Amino acid sequence: MRLMIVTLFVTLVLQGCQDEPLNTTIYMPENGSSLVLRSELDAELEGLIQRYGLTGDPLRGKNLPSIDAPLAQLGLKLFFNKALSGDKDVACVTCHHPLLGGGDNLSLSIGVGAENPDVLGHKRLLKDSLTLGVPRNAPTTFNSGLWQQFMFHDGRVAQVAGGITTPDVPYPQPDAQAGHNLVHAQARFPVTSSHEMRGNLFDRGGTTQTCRDRLAERLREEPNWLSLFRAAFAQADAAAETVMTEQNIAFALGEYERSQVFVNHAWKQYVQGDLTALSSSAKHGALLFFRERSEGGYACAACHRGDFFTDEQFRNVLMPPIGPGKGGVDNLSQQDYGRWLVTQDPADKFRFRTPSLLNVAVTGPWGHNGAYTTLEGVVKHMLNPFQAALSYDSAQLQQTHIPHMHLQENLREMLASNTDMAGQAYREEDVGYLVDFLQTLTDPCVTRSECMSRWLPSKDSDEQNPLTLQLDARFEP
């Protein structure tokens, strides 16, 4: 009976009835302020919210630093500073700008070797076509403090028994130098990557550790940092060698990133009782997202689970294998085997970490390699991965340097692998409902530059003690 009512309702919606459905009961919010109509749709969603134990709040009491905390403030300055790259041309913010959704708006990131190092966003180009660039899409740094187990698309920085494992040690041993938390541990790696920040000449032949140490040493030669480090670490008389260490640099960077908590989206308000926070189209999308296939939905929440919209597991969803890849078995094929590169377990080939979907509307391009440049495109892919991968159109890529030499061949290998998804038919109009739902996961702050200004360097505060090498981002239309 219940299902029949729903079916009737779905039919009404499909026929173009976009307004609040007919089946409504009167609902009084707890504050009693206004009368809200509680529809059959709301009742259905309430059941799903209960089934999945959702609260709308992924923080659940987790203590993350405020951007006003001294360490986060120091981290902000470091995050925007090119001194942490070998040729002093790339900063973390190059690929993770707060006004670009915490990413870079590129399918595949460009670090060193850019035509103009200060141009960010979709107009950032490689100087010459001989450079390959970074083989993966830059995930957002927003809400990075909410990951419990894994960082990176392949989880190579991970919480393990006894600590945190990193690429510096054999997997899955804990790395004694990993630092205080996952985000701190991750922040020690971009500076060691030749494509991202190190370049080919700096600390040539060195190890990841000598690279970090030499960068810290070099930072000590730049003016005005020592007093900032001493203040942030509350060590008023510390020597530069004691307080300006690679560990403290990474810790401060991590505190800045962990302060980027953007979870106040409309869906949260809805889950917490404001039935007016979502349009009926978005509510319909939510139903499709959470319902099982047998209930007429698409079971997206099987993987995009909980209030952070991820199970932190690795899945093969057949993302089209574009770009230079990370090297396969022979290191020549432009393939990216994802989790397999970490575990060497054949079952892990092509598996990538399930991304969180918070703020997903502003974190494109999508997929571990940015294969999709529209949210509609990636949603269609998730609805029917086989069909989408087979008919993938690389013309959507704005970056012309992305190599496709082996695309067909790589695609064939991937399609023959064990996917974690079933190819399914879907109703074309459901794409729009799902997109409308995903849009409600955006915290309005991340779309407003006034709100984001707290995560950007302030224009005038440091006039007396200016820092050299701050990246002054240029976004070209």
**Which residues sit at the interface with ligand HEC, rule CB under 6 A?**
84, 90, 92, 94-96, 109, 111, 134, 136, 138-139, 141, 144, 151-154, 183, 186-187, 190-191, 196-197, 253, 257, 289, 298-300, 302-304, 315, 317, 319, 352, 354-355, 357, 360, 363, 366-368, 378-379, 382-383, 420-421, 434
CA 301 vs. chain centroid, Å, equals 18
Contact 47, 41 (CB under 8 A): no
**Closer CB to ligand HEC, residue 20 or residue 155?**
155
Smallest gap from residue 77 Cβ to ligand HEC (A): 13
Smallest gap from residue 43 Cβ to ligand HEC (A): 22
Q: What is the DSSP string of 243-300?
A: HS-HHHHHHHHHHHHHT------HHHHHHTT-TTSS-HHHHHHHHHHHS-GGGTS--G
Q: How far is the first Cα of the chain from the last one, in angstroms, to the nearest whole number?
A: 54
Smallest gap from residue 367 Cβ to ligand HEC (A): 4
Smallest gap from residue 236 Cβ to ligand HEC (A): 27
Smallest gap from residue 253 Cβ to ligand HEC (A): 5
Residue 230 CB neighbour total at 10 angstroms: 18
**Closer CB to ligand HEC, residue 20 or residue 384?**
384
Smallest gap from residue 38 Cβ to ligand HEC (A): 26
Contact 85, 91 (CB under 8 A): yes
**Closer CB to ligand HEC, residue 97 or residue 230?**
97
CA 181 vs. chain centroid, Å, equals 18
**Closer CB to ligand HEC, residue 271 or residue 389?**
389
Alpha-carbon distance of 226 to 243, in angstroms, equals 8
Residue 22 CB neighbour total at 10 angstroms: 11
What sign does the CA torsion over 41, 299, 339, 380 have? negative
Smallest gap from residue 312 Cβ to ligand HEC (A): 10
Alpha-carbon distance of 119 to 253, in angstroms, equals 22
Q: Name the nearest CA neighbour of 84 among 112, 49, 116, 110.
A: 112
Please give the angle made by the CA atoms of 443, 445 and 448, to the nearest 5 degrees: 130
**Closer CB to ligand HEC, residue 20 or residue 216?**
216
**Closer CB to ligand HEC, residue 186 or residue 373?**
186
DSSP 372: B
What sign does the CA torsion over 37, 41, 43, 47 have? negative
Smallest gap from residue 161 Cβ to ligand HEC (A): 20
Contact 322, 397 (CB under 8 A): yes
CA neighbours within 13 Å on the CB side: how many for 216?
21
Smallest gap from residue 157 Cβ to ligand HEC (A): 8
Q: Are strands 150-151 and 157-160 parallel, antiparallel or unpaired?
A: antiparallel
